[in-house]
Amino acid sequence: MTLGYDKKLFILAFDHRGSFQKKMFGIAGEPSAEETAKIVDAKSVIFDGFTRALSEGAPADAAGILVDEQFGADVARKARANGWIAAMPVEKSGLDYFDFEYGDEFGKHIEEFDPSFAKILLRYNPEGDAELNRRSVDGLKRLSDWLHDHDRKFLLELLVPAEPAQLEAVDGSDERYDLELRPRLMRTTMEQLQNAGIEPDIWKIEGIDRREDCETIAAQAKAGGRHGVGCVVLGRGADTEKVEHWLRQGAGVDGYLGFAIGRTIWWDQLEGYLDGSLSRDDAAAQIAEKYRRAIDVYNGAA
């Protein structure tokens, strides 16, 4: 299978697990059967919003979902049965390094659900803990090799959290870190992973504030003959205005394909559904509207 993916891609992401159950539901540890059912229902509301967006004109050849097996197995099966794009995570939730959710059985789970993309979330700072970085690289190399040996597409979500010394260098400002340091660190991380033989088809990239930095990141994704490899913008739970700014910076850059956005689109709507201030239909309708709005912003800027 040729490395890369070069079509537009607009992913509604709701593969959140540990953080989702803790922050949305206040559940610490393993959820009970009753608690699990509530989380599964909430994720089905997001999926209702996705299917409604399709019925209202979202492009079926580019629209997709990112959902987990733990709470979204039925949703993933429905999406694939309808021929829609569906990505699923492989990583264990909540770790500072990459490890497999299902250990040595990871391949069996991928083959059972047959997702369009196998996705991992990686927290990696090239100036961070060397041992944790090495553990991540070892696991990612194994996954990357398996996916390409089995003709499957690989979506890598890269987060580069600030190290204390890096934050200190920008006077403790998260905004300055994002603007002044993170783009360079992201590019360095991508290069290190590529040099280690880790080959994503798509990089899921934190929003970048300057277009020239998007161009640098896209060029690194394609470096060394990786001409078909692309990037999508992730939302990081930021407010709508910030996310739309990030979309506009990436839109139209050679190698940028679209986005994979989650909480920005559905968090408030799920809270409304859960506290009873929104009906299920109203919550799904608002999610559909916000998802289609993100597609329109990206396409309009491109």
- Map out the domains of the chain with their CATH numbers: 9-301 (3.20.20.70)
Token readout for 127 is 């100036």
Q: What is the mean pLDDT of residues 4-16?
A: 96
Planar angle of CA 297, 301, 302, nearest 5 degrees = 115
- Average pLDDT estimate for 275-294: 98
For the segment 188-193, the average pLDDT, to the nearest whole number, is: 98
Examine the pLDDT at 131 and tell me if it is beyond 80: yes
For residues 169 and 181, what is the distance between their CA atoms, to the nearest angstrom?
9
pLDDT tens for 53-83 read 999 999 999 999 999 999 999 999 999 999 9
Q: What is the pLDDT of residue 144?
A: 97
pLDDT grade for 29, boundaries at 50, 70 and 90: confident
Backbone phi, psi, residue 19, to 5°? -65, -35
- Looking at residue 18, its pLDDT comes to 85
- Average predicted confidence (pLDDT) for the chain: 96
Question: CA nearest 199: which of 142, 278, 284?
Answer: 142
| End-to-end CA, the chain | 28
In one letter, which amino acid is 32?
Answer: S
pLDDT of residue 70: 94
Question: Is the pLDDT at 302 greater than 90, yes or no?
Answer: no
Structure confidence at residue 227 (pLDDT): 96
Q: Running DSSP on this structure, what letter comes out for residue 97?
A: S
Q: What pTM, to 2 d.p., does this model score? A: 0.95
Per-residue pLDDT for 32 more than 80? yes
Q: Please write the tens of the pLDDT for every residue from 200-218.
A: 999 999 999 999 999 999 9
Instruction: Measure the CA–CA gap between 199 and 196, rounded to whole angstroms.
Output: 9
> Over the stretch 138-175, which tens digit does the pLDDT of each residue have?
999 999 999 999 999 999 999 999 999 999 999 999 99
Express as a percent the part of the chain with pLDDT over 70: 100
